[in-house]
Amino acid sequence: MSTDQLLFIRMFDVRLRSLKSKLIRVDKQSIVLVGVKMDDTKQTRRAFSREFKLSVVQWFYSNNKNVLQTSNHFKIDRKQVRTWVKAEEKIRKQKSKSMSERGRKAYFPRMEEKLVQQFKEQRKRGKTVKKWWFLSIARKIMNEEYPKDMVFKYSNRWFNGFCRRNRISLRRKTHIAQKSPATLKDPIQKFHAKLLRERIRGTFQLGDIANMDQTPLPFVLDDGRTYETTGADEVWCSSGASGLDKRQCTVQLTVFGDGVSRVRPTLIFRGEGKRIKPDERRSWDKRVNVYFQTNAWCDEVIMKKWTSDEWCNIFTNPATPGSSGKLLVADVHKAQQTDEVKRLLQKKNTVLVNVPPGCTSRVQPLDVVLNKPFKNLVREQFEKHLDENLNDYVEGKLTASKRRILTTKWVAIAWEKLMQDKEMVIRSFKKCGITTNVDGSENDKVNIRGMEGYTMPLPEEEYHLISEDEDDASSDSEIDDEEDLEDGEYELDDDDNEQ
């Protein structure tokens, strides 16, 4: 071998060893050199429990205090072994199964201690706790406990650290079933039989068949979750609500079997509406209809107004050529059962078919499919406004007038987005057995929740299930809606006046 070849091999060997010394990690995804990152692979930091640390320390003393053997046995760094050996006494004082204390310490421990105490009292009473509640109470405590010139930012970083330090997390509420599906099979079959009879008697297109329903709408929509102590076995909330969680209004929605929106959402606010300023009225979204009632309920007066203003509006909800009229599916809410309302609907060629009590969450399209995505869309608008105007919520600057205006806009936007999915609306009617073909050819599309194997009545069977003179049962409740019970009974806010 020549001298030049030997020299080349030596130089190559030196460069290779230099490269190896710089190599930190080689894996299938990336090669990382000192000062050079080949990709964005992120390493996660490991967390060790108190029991694991003590087992490392015990193994260390049981094996001649050999740091190298201990680190190799547990596959951890040698420095970590030495640190835990020195801190053995401190580790033993930690709580069982606790992880190492990481993150920032509380800058205002007195405030956080009182905040945790009030949070636990809220949860003991079954109150739902949201992020804005923590920020509002924290600001109040800061003003009481610390000097006025003390600067404190109520940032997401602080809030996340506060929850981590106090083992608080966002949890979903537990629910209990209200009624057995088996007890509802007979009334549901009678409902479908009556609906089938009316459809055979008349001539109704998909755009003639509608479902109307009322549901309470608080300003802060409950998403079924609340902050609770991490690890709690049960997350319960009382039915009562307070503050922004109370009923802001009742929203009345109407959908049609062909998925086309013909009737505006109706909002029923509390009060008489006599002291509403013209500026506020002009600020309401024109895509919704607004009424006022003493308790924010849909009563007979509101129902008659809605029938005349919205349902019988020939410009937005005209009669279909060749049709025998309209068919309206609704629950047995008291306001919809009065003789005057029934006569008014009959005068407008509308057949009213009532959903039996307790069955709305199984055979009413709005309850079964549409109300949930609608409320989610309204909640998105609320959360967006909350992020952009957090101080207004914390400092209580949102007046009843501002809340009404915002509600009209959020409902209008949510409804417009929901109605863009026509197929979802059409499927909801088929799923509930409202608009399936009368000859039974689409009965396989019916899917009643909790009733596997449910069969729709055939045309020749419907007269055996119901009689001509059978009256619909009425309910004394203002809103007989199982879906509303699951969402919680929202009370009215005493200070939610019209000003």
Residue 411: name the closest of 294, 282, 266, 305 by CA: 266
Q: Above 50 in pLDDT, residue 474? A: no
**Cα–Cα distance between 212 and 257 in angstroms, integer?**
12
Class of residue 370 by CB neighbours under 10 A (exposed 0-12, middle 13-18, buried 19+):
buried
Q: What stretches of 119-224 adopt beta strand conformation (E)?
A: 168-172, 209-218
C-beta atoms surrounding 402 within 10 Å: 15
Higher pLDDT, 393 or 429: 429
Q: What's the confidence (pLDDT) of residue 153?
A: 77
Separation in Å, CA 432 to CA 22, 145, 194, 330, 364: 67, 57, 14, 13, 6
Average pLDDT, the chain: 79
Confidence category of residue 131, pLDDT binned at 50, 70, 90? confident
Sign of the torsion formed by the C-alpha atoms of 481, 332, 418 and 361: positive
Q: Above 70 in pLDDT, residue 238? A: no
Highest mean pLDDT range out of 99-108, 369-378, 456-465?
369-378
Q: In 284-355, which residue ranges form alpha helices assigned H by DSSP?
A: 300-306, 339-347
Three-class SS state of 434: coil
* Cα atoms in the Cβ-side hemisphere of radius 13 Å centred on 374: 25
| Lowest mean pLDDT segment, chosen from 10-24, 363-377, 404-418 | 10-24
Instruction: Tell me the percentage of the chain whose pLDDT exceeds 70.
Output: 74
Q: What's the confidence (pLDDT) of residue 135?
A: 86
The string of pLDDT tens digits covering residues 31-46 is: 343 444 444 445 566 7
Q: Above 80 in pLDDT, residue 431? A: yes
Q: What's the confidence (pLDDT) of residue 32?
A: 41
Q: What's the confidence (pLDDT) of residue 354?
A: 93
Mean pLDDT of 123-127: 83
Mean pLDDT of 224-234: 69
Mean pLDDT of 215-243: 65
Q: What's the confidence (pLDDT) of residue 478?
A: 39
Mean pLDDT of 356-371: 92
Q: Above 70 in pLDDT, residue 274? A: yes
**Cα–Cα distance between 338 and 69 in angstroms, integer?**
85
